[in-house]
Structure 1
């Protein structure tokens, strides 16, 4: 029996509607709009943090053992519980119950109570109204952390932290959640550390990730919904920020999160930023702040990384798996396990982006 044309048209339209793809997810739309990214895979990963079913792992810091690169260490935060120390095999070497510590950084060769040591600093959020800087010593022989004490870091919620070793002093930049950045001069001469805020910098909205280039005295801070900024890190320097890159949805997709530096020569190298909004990482040249490329850490023998908060990067020999340097990224979706950190060879990133060595 011949059907009326109106029935045929309705049936055709219904079938077409059923066959139409579902609207793209917000993540798929952000990826589609962003500049294309190269891909790399992780060569290692850490054990998951101890806080399950939560946004818990946050920020890593790398210590390189120059005498025995394979024995290098990674310090990572569980921002609901404390600090972990991992070996390059990803196994947990230590855990210190430090409460709500959000970001972490470290410097080797710092004078601590008259002896040279590895200083670890974490932004302490145990009191949301009063920021603290929690300080620790890392023992490279035992991979153990010991608490040194806390110093005041201003009024507000401590969020990000990065250390700066100048010629005559060691400083910590403590980034408060509202975009305030307090520069704290550290006095580690006694068993009990002391600190004083020497100046205050300001961004307009929520900020967190930061890193300082000790060679040039420049501090880089990510304002999450706005972009990447540069400050003069010197205590007497200008407090006016210069914007390096905008979170424009193309090269850098908000939220802009972790920041890390790859120093090369006297002034050259790259600054890397976590482009959390599209699960990518962006590299900018330090020489002129031009865009150098972007990449993602995708699934391979080891899972990739997504929704990354903190990152760290250190160049140099880390053994046969990471001969040119090590990049560590927090993974916000670690399959069915708790969050962890992924380990990527810097050489793989260099090849993927065609960067200068």
Structure 2
């Protein structure tokens, strides 16, 4: 029978335990010198959102909707009428205009049987100009964690009843599972990033697997009737255990049977480079075609800290910090997105979920993606709060009409200002990209 699983609630408990444990150990453990360019989260500059979407609620009264991951679609003909497309997990997809107002709501697929998992959308990304049997189209591609498939939507800004239309080919196969029983175990399609290979023109989705380290490369293909299908090219497993400088082996603490998963991913189309955030480990850089060897760009602060899983409390109890972690990311590392600039420069942005900050790295792998700075998204007013425990982010460095003439950053807020009835709320914040660039460039 399908078991509805919470969104890594134990991780938040671990973060609290780690904070207490590290404070206690501070006097006993020798300080590790900070890496060049690192700053504490309290020292980072702040930016404030210009707008926020209506709150989503992950309960029956709110339609089991939980904000997770956004993508920004630019309307080339009328940039001021561009859209933000975002996942609401079991609530499906939401589409917003640049005022953060709802434009469309699409449900996740229903469960095939009473004991089976329903659709649950996790991450979304875009493909531009894919050739279909009905002509070229821009697409939104979402990972359906509940059904272990991809769902594909055509984007037509002015279509009546639109702007999104489901064009997923019938019989879309599971990404990782062999049958419905495996799907119900929910070790399924999780993180997602799209990539169009400039050398061949072919388009792909890179998909991670929940509670596993596996990444899959899926080619998107035209199917009859203007539909879109996909097939698997290859898979790659990132490490789940790591050799520490003292010669010991370390694996991030988790529930029995779980491995350190990847969610946040983005591809640099100019170089065909995939960046993947392994939540309790750090950020990997590897070829988007999943060949070659991955390179760990940066580590979370908790890297190397031993932990023991307590069956009674369902929490990890951390041990002493050996000092092998990074200085800029606090687990989980989430929400990777690429900020490109006209001159070819740019930044990889990552959400440091554990301390509510964002880190910026140089886009150029030749510079080993040097850390360039960080920022926080804080409240603009009593009625417009900032972003906490950010799950997903999307950035677009292009004019978007008069609202965002310098571009837009959209970030998920895992703790929206509390509702009057006390329910947990999530939403998406819209941040002027010019404000972000000033914090990084300074």
TM-score for the superposition, normalised by structure 1? 0.85
SS at 1:154's partner residue? Answer: coil
The answer to whether the aligner puts 1:294 opposite 2:381 as a matched pair is: no
SS at 1:152's partner residue? Answer: coil
Write the distance in 2 (CA, Å) between the matches of 1:48 and 1:113. Answer: 38
SS at 1:336's partner residue? Answer: coil
Using the TM superposition, give the Cα deviation of residue 133 of structure 1 relative to its aligned residue in structure 2, in angstroms.
1.1
Write the distance in 1 (CA, Å) between the matches of 2:331 and 2:65. Answer: 18
Q: Report the equivalent of 1:227.
A: 282
Write the distance in 2 (CA, Å) between the matches of 1:189 and 1:324. Answer: 37
Please point out which of 164, 186, 195 is paired with 2:230.
195
Q: Report the equivalent of 2:299.
A: 246
Write the distance in 2 (CA, Å) between the matches of 1:164 and 1:342. Answer: 25
5+ residue gaps in structure 2? 1-15, 24-38, 109-118, 178-186, 241-259, 302-325, 420-424
Using the TM superposition, give the Cα deviation of residue 153 of structure 1 relative to its aligned residue in structure 2, in angstroms.
1.6
Contact 1:36 1:294 in 2 (8 A): no
SS at 2:84's partner residue? Answer: strand
For 1:140-219, what aligned pairs fall within 5 Å after superposition? 140-142=157-159, 143-149=162-168, 150-155=172-177, 156-167=187-198, 168=200, 169-177=202-210, 178-191=212-225, 192-203=227-238, 204=240, 205-219=260-274
SS at 1:274's partner residue? Answer: strand
For 1:263-302, what aligned pairs fall within 5 Å after superposition? 263-265=340-342, 267-287=344-364, 288=367, 289-301=369-381, 302=384
Q: CA RMSD in A?
A: 2.3
SS at 2:146's partner residue? Answer: coil
Contact 1:151 1:193 in 2 (8 A): no
Q: 1:315 to 1:103 in 2, by over 3 A?
A: same
Write the distance in 1 (CA, Å) between the matches of 2:391 and 2:102. Answer: 20
Contact 2:57 2:65 in 1 (8 A): no
Q: 1:303 to 1:28 in 2, by over 3 A?
A: farther
For 1:119-158, what aligned pairs fall within 5 Å after superposition? 119-127=139-147, 131-142=148-159, 143-149=162-168, 150-155=172-177, 156-158=187-189
Write the distance in 2 (CA, Å) between the matches of 1:151 and 1:252. Answer: 36
Write the distance in 1 (CA, Å) between the matches of 2:103 and 2:94. Answer: 8
The answer to whether the aligner puts 1:45 opposite 2:52 as a matched pair is: yes
Q: Report the equivalent of 1:103.
A: 123
Write the distance in 2 (CA, Å) between the matches of 1:45 and 1:64. Answer: 19
The structure carrying a bigger strand percent of its residues is 1
Write the distance in 2 (CA, Å) between the matches of 1:246 and 1:96. Answer: 37
Larger radius of gyration: 1
Q: Report the equivalent of 1:90.
A: 100
Contact 1:73 1:86 in 2 (8 A): yes
Write the distance in 1 (CA, Å) between the matches of 2:345 and 2:17. Answer: 36
* Greater Cα shift, 52-61 or 292-301: 52-61
Contact 1:215 1:266 in 2 (8 A): no
Write the distance in 2 (CA, Å) between the matches of 1:27 and 1:74. Answer: 35
**CA displacement, residues 83-106 of structure 1 (integer Å, 9 cap, x when unaligned):** 000001111100111231111111
Using the TM superposition, give the Cα deviation of residue 162 of structure 1 relative to its aligned residue in structure 2, in angstroms.
0.7
Q: Report the equivalent of 2:255.
A: none
For 1:295-314, what aligned pairs fall within 5 Å after superposition? 295-301=375-381, 302-314=384-396
Using the TM superposition, give the Cα deviation of residue 264 of structure 1 relative to its aligned residue in structure 2, in angstroms.
2.1
SS at 1:254's partner residue? Answer: coil
**CA displacement, residues 174-204 of structure 1 (integer Å, 9 cap, x when unaligned):** 1112121100011125334222111112222
* Greater Cα shift, 146-155 or 295-304: 146-155
5+ residue gaps in structure 1? 1-24
The answer to whether the aligner puts 1:340 opposite 2:427 as a matched pair is: yes
SS at 1:188's partner residue? Answer: strand
Q: 1:26 to 1:44 in 2, by over 3 A?
A: farther
Contact 2:51 2:99 in 1 (8 A): yes
Write the distance in 2 (CA, Å) between the matches of 1:180 and 1:285. Answer: 26
**CA displacement, residues 283-308 of structure 1 (integer Å, 9 cap, x when unaligned):** 00012200011111001132101010
Q: 1:28 to 1:34 in 2, by over 3 A?
A: farther
Write the distance in 2 (CA, Å) between the matches of 1:297 and 1:64. Answer: 23
Q: Report the equivalent of 1:11.
A: none
Contact 2:131 2:137 in 1 (8 A): yes
Using the TM superposition, give the Cα deviation of residue 267 of structure 1 relative to its aligned residue in structure 2, in angstroms.
4.3
TM-score for the superposition, normalised by structure 2? 0.69
SS at 1:348's partner residue? Answer: helix
Q: 1:266 to 1:189 in 2, by over 3 A?
A: farther
